Structure formats: C-alpha cells, structure tokens
Amino acid sequence: MSQFRIPVYRHHRPSGRAVVTLNGRDHDLGPWKSTASRVEYGRLVQQWLDNGREDLSSGHAYDITITELVNAYWQFATRY
C-alpha cells in the first residue's frame, strides 16, 4: 500500500495569502487563516483526491477542440 500526504495549507508570506500546492502548482486560497481560505482548501483537496490525485485542470469542462471552437464561432457569425 502506497502512502501519500495530504497537501499542506500554508502561508505565502510575501502576499499574506494562503496557498496549497497540488501537483507542483500553487493555488491561491484567499486571506491567510480566513474561514473562506480554509473552505477553499478543503474543496480543492477533496476535488484533487476525487480526481485520483491528478492535476485539477485535466478533464476540465471547458476543454474543447479548435474545430469545435471555430464551428461555434462560425455559427454565431453567420447568424449575426
């Protein structure tokens, strides 16, 4: 059984903000020690765990191909 660590809620001193690092990428959580930053930390870590400890951006709902984007724009432009 492999062990892994839950990423740490930490203080980014230069900005006074709370951050968590997931897969090498820092995520801004909000003001250090605020309730909102702790809630955001819990949400992001849970999402990260649910995603198999993979990058949160993979499989993002906004991922589309260039062809889909051009097609959607073409449909918009022809109606306009």
pLDDT in tens, the chain (80 residues): 457 789 999 999 999 999 999 988 999 999 999 999 999 999 999 999 998 888 766 544 556 778 888 888 898 888 87
Are 30 and 40 spatial neighbours (Cβ–Cβ below 8 Å)?
A: yes
pTM over the 0.75 mark: no
Q: pLDDT tens for residues 32-49?
A: 999 999 999 999 999 999
Tell me the residue length of the chain. 80
Contacts for 17 with CB less than 8 Å, ≥ 6 apart: 11, 28, 29, 30, 31, 32, 37
Q: Is 55 helix (H, G, I), strand (E, B) or coil?
A: coil
